[in-house]
Structure 1
């Protein structure tokens, strides 16, 4: 048997073994003599495939007049489109309103300052203050003003030691630890070096001012060398008139170079006019002046005049209510609605708000008590089995609400340029109410309106003709506190600016957008 025959026989055997190759119906064949299940495909003998144009063919076509014209048209359209986009971008840039340059801001301008005159009453001493830094950081506090902490007996100059901390308040090692932790949280620390803080006159007697300033200078060098960010002194008028004042100024403000953190020289003045405060800012070189103008001037007209006089110097102004005497705000603002009102006023006025510890919860000293004990854990609700006194629980809830209000104001001021360093325009004032506008460039605008009187009052807002500044017809209520007026002013509602009626002790903050 030859080789071809063997191959044919193997194919027959495989076909018989593979069921898929067996006919699907009987033994018969399909029509046309083809086996059932088989498909015949006709493959064209001459298959044509497209291989594109050769280089010679492309060059021949590209040189024709039609393609030359098409290429030129496309090239011209490309460059015209590109030039059009460039011209459009230039027009947008030229016509866009210029951004107003941001003024120089120092750390004491960026948020509220928080005074702790008695560290023991606040948190059981220096170590306790360090433990409470997180609480103060939540309030967006930018600076702590501690003390006075030095040792001295009232009106006894020979016992003055400005470089020794009263051991009841803490010690130097604890202060250094406090400074390190505060700086990590972005909080600066100022020491109050008012010499005779326990006596009648801050500088003992007029004849001793020069000698006492020499001691303050030495103490300032010592504490600044340990990392303190500034010093504060009371009765600033007396100190700044001393021949030694320029030396103290050089100690605190000297060696200021670009990129280094500035150390603050802070002074406190009382019972002087807005014009005199302005003059001190211009002539003394002080970084921040805290005055009692807000507490000594009880009428809205007087307060507006003070702001009118001083607003251009706002980065050198500190505002407080009772803060010049280390007193709590609640000593003047006797009700929760008035506490909210003055918190709103301080956070929106042109300048740095200065608070005394406990102002955020309406803390008040008991009769005869100079330094009230700070209250902590106010958010801790009583347990179910615990006996609850209704008055105490109501007071706790009110403190929680006041702290929340304080935090919202502090947070808003830190975010909004109009409130942080914006321009100021008076809108209205009366014996018991006032209103003013704060704005900056293209940022949101804000209107403060407050009525600390005992009766409802209607405020008719009026803006003096000012280029580029005008009031809209309506504004949205951003914050509201106190007894609502007959014209309801709830948060997010829209009010007409023609007339705003405020209830007794009511304060509102209105917001409206910039329109170019």
Structure 2
């Protein structure tokens, strides 16, 4: 470049510095007040980082290589440590105990049906098999899982239906219908005796001289000076012996003279009765309730029984004697074990297990629970618990007494056996009609084990003329829908059937029936199926307990069986501050949030709260 060109370039740069950026006086200074070129700070270019080559050079330095590998190794070590820790926590953390598989008789309620009084299908005033079949849908709606039917076989034939109740074909149809609805059928079977009209007895009574096959099918003995063989008493009172002029001997009848006792010391009798069990099991019966179980075998020596020192009634009454020689003999347990083995034949090849229930009715709990097993050998799956029969409130300390009765049965129950409960039967007064009837049924259905409800209790039926076997009240029409209009039922109806009946209560969400169905459905919850049972806060008047199962909703069940309102502080018993009502006896408090430090219960009221 020439010197002349250089001078021109310097002159142009100077002019540019003295000129405003946009050529406006406001945006720059006037030429005469402008800055010298030396006073203008140069503009810096933005930082662009290192170039690729420079970056690669730096990253290859040993320090940065070492740092990268160190961080990478630490990351993977931390990740592996967290994974191992999670596995250890999962493996070592306490687990919920596995829920045992429940058998069909363990996971739902039973309803006991007194066949003669349930439903008459043919208009003769007597309930029958077809009548039960007509009402199977109702049984399903109740949320019960099994129906238990009173005896329907003929007293003259252990393998036929009493004509009063129908035919074998009717029985087969009932079994099929019950099973189609997903229910189970349990029937009563009383092997202790037959009727005097049974061919076995007719031939046995005539066999002392001709010594036929049936000679020893029954318990026969010679009298003593024209009197019975010993002092044994009938359960119904008076001598347990009846004289047969045909045979010129006395036969034993633990119950009525028309019901002679079979002789189970005779192996032919044992075989014949086991064949009868096989007959009904082959027809699809799911279980058997063996009534009179404790009377099956008697002392072979016919030893006189001792007086009962605690008895204060009239001579000749059954309880005037103790009964060590006619009840609960070891041979009875051996016989029941044979029956259990017989029924197990039907649990093979995928067929359903056959339930065995023993009806003992003994006040000695330890004696009753022996019927679950003896000498380590299985007998009954259920031995009936009568200790809550006729459960009523009122009186002296009903809360503590009721809980004590419950706990006593549970304390004596053998390991691995499931409890059962009843508050009604044909042999006791109903709880219906009582202020405490709803609470009693709610307790029945929510105790641990298998509840066995009694027909009519689900709607609050009461005794009629002191009997608990009045006809079922289906609706408010003539004869309560039990039998045809104009027909006289075999036993009187309750006069309250126009208001206390199934049809009316089905339409009322607050009815006794609605409460029963809701409680039976609540049993499906894990806490009631598998959960533990423990006292919550039982007092003189209030019985209350907890049902809890790990990982499931817990429940408090409380019932006031006293005559006055009661307030309970359940937080003092370790329960949380608040609970939610899921069911009440009056069906009027659902979803209420209650403070558990002040739960108020009216007389006869029961609540179920979740927490």
CA distance in 1, matches of 2:532, 2:184: 26
Q: Which has the larger radius of gyration?
A: 2
Does structure 2 conserve the Cα–Cα contact (< 8 Å) formed by 1:338 and 1:505?
yes
Is 1:412 the counterpart of 2:412? The answer is no
CA distance in 2, matches of 1:217, 1:245: 10
CA distance in 2, matches of 1:293, 1:372: 23
Change over 3 Å in CA distance of 1:392–1:350 after alignment to 2 = same
1:376-398 CA-to-partner distances (Å, cap 9, x unmatched) read: 3679xxxxxxxxx9993586645
Which consecutive residues of structure 1, in runs of 5 or more, have no partner in the other structure?
Answer: 1-60, 153-158, 380-388, 465-469, 484-488
The corresponding residue for 1:341 is 439
Change over 3 Å in CA distance of 1:480–1:256 after alignment to 2 = same
Is 1:471 the counterpart of 2:575? The answer is yes
Does structure 1 conserve the Cα–Cα contact (< 8 Å) formed by 2:337 and 2:379?
no
Change over 3 Å in CA distance of 1:264–1:317 after alignment to 2 = same
Which of 407, 414, 423 is the equivalent residue of 1:308? 407
Larger mean CA deviation between 474-483 and 138-147 belongs to 474-483
Is 1:493 the counterpart of 2:602? The answer is no
CA distance in 2, matches of 1:258, 1:405: 41
Does structure 1 conserve the Cα–Cα contact (< 8 Å) formed by 2:585 and 2:606?
yes
Change over 3 Å in CA distance of 1:256–1:88 after alignment to 2 = same
The corresponding residue for 1:193 is 189
Cα distance, 1:210 vs. partner?
Answer: 4.9
The corresponding residue for 1:263 is 354
Cα distance, 1:506 vs. partner?
Answer: 0.7
Cα distance, 1:103 vs. partner?
Answer: 2.9
Change over 3 Å in CA distance of 1:317–1:278 after alignment to 2 = same
CA distance in 2, matches of 1:333, 1:262: 34
Does structure 1 conserve the Cα–Cα contact (< 8 Å) formed by 2:422 and 2:452?
yes
Does structure 2 conserve the Cα–Cα contact (< 8 Å) formed by 1:210 and 1:244?
no
Does structure 2 conserve the Cα–Cα contact (< 8 Å) formed by 1:127 and 1:170?
yes
Does structure 2 conserve the Cα–Cα contact (< 8 Å) formed by 1:321 and 1:332?
yes
Cα distance, 1:132 vs. partner?
Answer: 2.2
1:343-378 CA-to-partner distances (Å, cap 9, x unmatched) read: 210111112110122222223453376633323367
Change over 3 Å in CA distance of 1:72–1:447 after alignment to 2 = same
Does structure 2 conserve the Cα–Cα contact (< 8 Å) formed by 1:123 and 1:132?
no
1:491-512 CA-to-partner distances (Å, cap 9, x unmatched) read: 3223343453321111111211
Change over 3 Å in CA distance of 1:334–1:345 after alignment to 2 = same
CA distance in 1, matches of 2:454, 2:265: 30
Does structure 2 conserve the Cα–Cα contact (< 8 Å) formed by 1:333 and 1:342?
no
Matches within 5 A, 1:413-432: 413-414=523-524, 416-432=525-541
Is 1:169 the counterpart of 2:165? The answer is yes
Cα distance, 1:69 vs. partner?
Answer: 9.7
CA distance in 2, matches of 1:144, 1:206: 28
Is 1:252 the counterpart of 2:248? The answer is no
1:400-457 CA-to-partner distances (Å, cap 9, x unmatched) read: 422211111111102x121123211123444543111111222111121112232223
Is 1:140 the counterpart of 2:143? The answer is yes
Which of 371, 384, 406 is the equivalent residue of 2:469? 371
Does structure 1 conserve the Cα–Cα contact (< 8 Å) formed by 2:565 and 2:602?
yes
Which of 387, 390, 415 is the equivalent residue of 1:293? 387
The corresponding residue for 2:43 is none
Which of 234, 237, 246 is the equivalent residue of 2:294? 237
CA distance in 1, matches of 2:496, 2:389: 33
Does structure 2 conserve the Cα–Cα contact (< 8 Å) formed by 1:115 and 1:355?
yes
Q: TM-score, normalised on structure 2?
A: 0.60
The corresponding residue for 1:272 is 363
Bigger fraction of residues in helix: 1
Change over 3 Å in CA distance of 1:390–1:289 after alignment to 2 = closer
Q: How many residues align?
A: 421
Is 1:83 the counterpart of 2:80? The answer is yes
Is 1:508 the counterpart of 2:607? The answer is yes
Is 1:351 the counterpart of 2:446? The answer is no
CA distance in 2, matches of 1:258, 1:462: 53
Q: TM-score, normalised on structure 1?
A: 0.70
Post-superposition, which runs of at least 4 consecutive aligned residues in structure 1 deviate over 6 A? 66-75
The corresponding residue for 1:39 is none
Does structure 2 conserve the Cα–Cα contact (< 8 Å) formed by 1:333 and 1:339?
yes
DSSP 3-state at the match of 1:109: coil
Does structure 2 conserve the Cα–Cα contact (< 8 Å) formed by 1:360 and 1:403?
yes
Which of 121, 130, 145 is the equivalent residue of 2:118? 121
Change over 3 Å in CA distance of 1:282–1:430 after alignment to 2 = farther
1:275-297 CA-to-partner distances (Å, cap 9, x unmatched) read: 33334334363101222100267
CA distance in 1, matches of 2:563, 2:592: 24
Which of 300, 303, 320 is the equivalent residue of 2:422? 320
Larger mean CA deviation between 196-205 and 354-363 belongs to 196-205
Does structure 2 conserve the Cα–Cα contact (< 8 Å) formed by 1:99 and 1:441?
yes
Which consecutive residues of structure 2, in runs of 5 or more, have no partner in the other structure?
Answer: 1-55, 122-127, 196-234, 237-253, 297-327, 393-397, 478-494
Does structure 1 conserve the Cα–Cα contact (< 8 Å) formed by 2:424 and 2:457?
no
Change over 3 Å in CA distance of 1:260–1:166 after alignment to 2 = closer
DSSP 3-state at the match of 1:410: helix
CA distance in 2, matches of 1:495, 1:362: 28
CA distance in 2, matches of 1:426, 1:500: 16
Does structure 1 conserve the Cα–Cα contact (< 8 Å) formed by 2:431 and 2:440?
no
Change over 3 Å in CA distance of 1:216–1:371 after alignment to 2 = farther
Calculate the aligned-residue CA RMSD, in Å: 3.9
